[in-house]
């Protein structure tokens, strides 16, 4: 059901919630130290503690790009809603 013209654009949208979750996942994964505070399994002679953290560097980049794309999509939708509503 479309909203009437001039209706305010909601502050919290599904895209913004997903973007926040995408940014929160790597932070929680790195702050939850007991989950990776061990030596085994080793990969290429490198203890789990180190290669797990190094694995999160590209994974965090993927989550950050996903958050950026979601926010960018939300901003475009907001701009279109403002334009259609005649606000500003």
Q: What is the pLDDT of residue 55?
A: 94
DSSP annotation of 3: P
Within a domain: 9: no
Within a domain: 5: no
Taking the whole predicted model, whether its pTM rises above 0.75 is answered as yes
pLDDT tens sequence across 10-58: 788 999 999 999 999 999 999 999 988 888 898 888 999 999 999 999 9
Residue-range definition of the domain harbouring residue 74: 14-85
**Residue 86 Rama label (left phi>0; alpha psi -120 to 50; beta):** left
Q: Which residue has the higher pLDDT, 4 or 23?
A: 23
Q: Number of structural domains, the chain? A: 1
Measured at the CA of 24, the angle between CA 18 and CA 28, to 5 degrees, comes to 145
In degrees and rounded to multiples of 5, residue 51 shows phi and psi of -70, -25
Q: What is the pLDDT of residue 18?
A: 96
Q: What is the pLDDT of residue 41?
A: 92
**Tokens matching residue 59:** 């994974």
Within a domain: 45: yes
Residue 81 pLDDT grade (very low, low, confident, very high; cuts 50, 70, 90): confident
What is the Cα–Cα distance from 53 to 19, expressed in whole angstroms?
Answer: 22
């Amino acid at each position: 059901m479309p909203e009437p013209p001039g209706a305010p654009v909601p502050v919290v949208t599904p895209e913004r919630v997903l973007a926040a979750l995408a940014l929160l996942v790597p932070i929680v994964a790195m702050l939850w130290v007991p989950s990776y505070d061990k030596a085994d399994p080793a990969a290429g002679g490198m203890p789990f503690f180190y290669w797990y953290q190094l694995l999160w560097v590209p994974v965090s980049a993927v989550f950050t790009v996903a958050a950026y794309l979601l926010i960018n999509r939300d901003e475009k939708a907001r701009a279109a809603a403002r334009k259609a509503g005649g606000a500003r």
